[in-house]
Structure 1
């Protein structure tokens, strides 16, 4: 058997009111909430993937400003291991944009509202990454060496 981890990106985006950009989506027959996130495509720069996923899932043009960290998660539902490159980003502009298939809506929610979602969160990484951000975890983008950039 071949082990095939999935490389993904996510972006923590906070607005001036202390709310975080979240995505409400269909996943495995459930409605879940997550940060703007998704898979890195072949030959795609990691930062480009973060920008693309945010735009496709929320309609917002996001500029990654810092690297928050690399998170590992093995999903109990499917046994897949995900390596999640998580960024801190700034929402620059909302663009009228058709959202990806499976996306219900984008929302701006407080951390308290996100915590109240409980088992509707896509994974424990949703709250963990916001808490890390709130605790000041922050690295320069150049800690990632990506020849595609």
Structure 2
């Protein structure tokens, strides 16, 4: 069962983000608070969206997808950038990840978005195999760059 997240889901989304950070071996990097998530998802100007994967029998949340709109200057339309997709290890293999991606693909097609994109860690072979089984292909000709913390502040002319 896939459903749109509600404000009542903020604590479970926060917990799932922490679990994802542990899985990706970077728990120290997951600093988002429940208040920040609430503002981003449900504030005056929501910047991100989320869907919850729930166990079909119990309704218990077992995973989530958090995404936002991007824009292709070449195609002239929006797309979806999937920031996080996570399914608890005990619920993997039951179709929750595919159902979350299916819902995002449905939203793309319904709204005329032409891309659904995301990043995956190079070492995460099971997840890469899963994505490729759905027809997703890596964009090997692109390298992701990121500025954070000190370098971001330095470039902005701020002292750290």
Q: What TM-score results when the alignment is normalised by the length of structure 1?
A: 0.30
Higher helix share: 2
Higher relative contact order (CA 8 A, sep 6+): 1
Q: What TM-score results when the alignment is normalised by the length of structure 2?
A: 0.29
Structure of higher CA gyration radius: 2
Higher strand share: 1
